[in-house]
Amino acid sequence: MELSFPFDPLARAAEIETKVMRGGKRLYLKFRAAPYYGGIATGDAIGCCFLCAYCWNYARNADPSRFGKFYPPEEVASTLLHIAQKRFFNLFRITGSEPILGESSFEHLLSVIHFIFEREPRASFILETNGFLLGFNPRWVERLKNKNVVVRIALKGTDADSFEKITGAKKEFFDFPFLALQELERHGIRAWPAAMNDLFTEEEVKSLERLLDGYHIKAELELEVLEPYPFVLENMKRRGVLLKRISRPL
């Protein structure tokens, strides 16, 4: 796929959704048990409206039509439930992509959640998202209201310039994940922000925390750790995104 930087993430979301959705089915790479959150049944979907320099799924998200297989939501839920039952998990997620690219992918996500809760009412679903489309379409937020759905929003920069450099998306779209967090809190949905610790100095992280305060977001900022795969570090170098701190040995 030809792409020039910076790009319009709204246009990219619409384009990517046409490639990763087919009817109600979505493109997935695989399903697995993952150790995060103490153990979680995980579906690795494909396709994102951003193209973050540090993404471990960069190649697949850059050109999603070359990878994966289409699955309907009920089969996704059944596969995740089978993993969870084998491992005694009660946590579920879709990762490796942006779950919400537009109406079609959002409906797919809601259906997966519905089928999981229908068969396992005690389950919890962690929605990992960049928050962009939720901020742009705040009316969608209310549809996530369920005591067993929690939302983790990955913030991609401490200001508009770093957002553009990291995501490849135009800087004027920087605010939307913060608006999503505001709306989630307004609806009483448990949500929190996360940011990649290794890409920012201590002062930049503090400035991000001040920005969150300015939006009256109460949730504490989670600092995540970069997975320093060689291809990730090489891609970051190519995109001019530098490590500011190192949280684990390279």
> In this model, does residue 247 exceed pLDDT 90?
no
- Domain span including residue 132: 9-239
153 within some domain: yes
Residues 102-138 pLDDT 10s = 999 999 999 999 999 999 999 999 999 999 999 999 9
Give the integer Cα–Cα distance in Å for 192 and 218. Answer: 8
* Residue among 54, 57, 36, 55 nearest 46 (CA): 57
31 within some domain: yes
* Mean pLDDT in residue range 10-17: 98
Burial class (CB in 10 A: 0-12, 13-18, 19+), 53: buried
244 within some domain: no
Q: How confident is the model at residue 245 (pLDDT cuts 50, 70, 90)?
A: confident
Q: What is the mean pLDDT of the chain?
A: 96
User: Per mean pLDDT, which range of 11-15, 69-73, 150-154, 246-250 is the poorest?
Assistant: 246-250
How does DSSP classify residue 141?
A: G
- Do residues 3 and 51 make contact, with C-beta atoms less than 8 angstroms apart? yes
State the maximum Cα–Cα separation within the chain, in Å, rounded to a whole number: 46
250 within some domain: no
- CATH at 191: 3.20.20.70
